[in-house]
Amino acid sequence: MSEQAEWHRQVAGAFGERVHGTTDWDAPSPVDGWRARDVVDHLTSWFPAFLASGTGIELPPVGGVDPVADWAAHADAVQKLLDDPASADVVLRNPYIGEMALPDAINNIYTSDVFMHTWDLARATAQDERLDPQTCADLLAEMAPIEELMRSSGQYGPRVPVPDDADVQTRLLGFIGRDPLRGRK
């Protein structure tokens, strides 16, 4: 099993725990204008289009009605793709990121997104918000040098100031435009 497949399994599993723990899909999310259901919808809708345009691989569509069923079907499809040894030979081509081996593209772009949105769903639904500190540190170290590029993509809000002595999760969340100190439940 590849490192990318194992990391996706862990991250998707942690997100899935929050999905299964959600009792109010209309709860507001820390992402402006999003509800809890929108966090799941975001992850199950942008990635299939990104994958298809960059590789020609099409994931089975999800229904868009039941966030729990949608997440389970989507996460399973991505996991099957990563578990398939043939995926290591697939190259994703994208005008913004160039060419990248499919497992690396999934790892660096998609699984990282799932990891960060785990906090959004947890905060929206008053569940466990803790993220792995080492992963937070690794992501922050990878993203900081490309901050301008990230912000110009429109996918990240302005940096939210946090205390200088904040823990690494708080620093990561502030970096990606979340206010981790506001609205704690």
Residue 147 lies in a domain: no
**pTM confidence score:** 0.93
Residue 178 domain flag? no
Q: Is position 150 within any domain?
A: no
Asked if residues 134 and 52 have their Cβ atoms less than 8 Å apart, the reply is no
Task: Say which CATH number the domain at 26 has.
Answer: 1.20.120
Measured distance CA(49)–CA(51) in Å, rounded: 5
**Structural domain of 39:** 3-130
Residue 183 counted as domain residue:
no
Q: Determine how β-strand 98-101 pairs with β-strand 91-94.
A: antiparallel
Tens-level pLDDT at each residue, the chain (185 residues): 699 999 999 999 999 999 999 999 999 999 989 999 999 999 999 999 999 999 999 999 998 899 999 999 999 999 999 999 999 999 999 988 889 999 999 999 999 999 999 999 999 999 999 999 999 999 999 998 888 878 877 778 889 999 989 999 999 999 999 998 875 54
Confirm whether 40 is domain-assigned: yes
* Total structural domains within the chain: 1
In a domain, 56, yes or no: yes
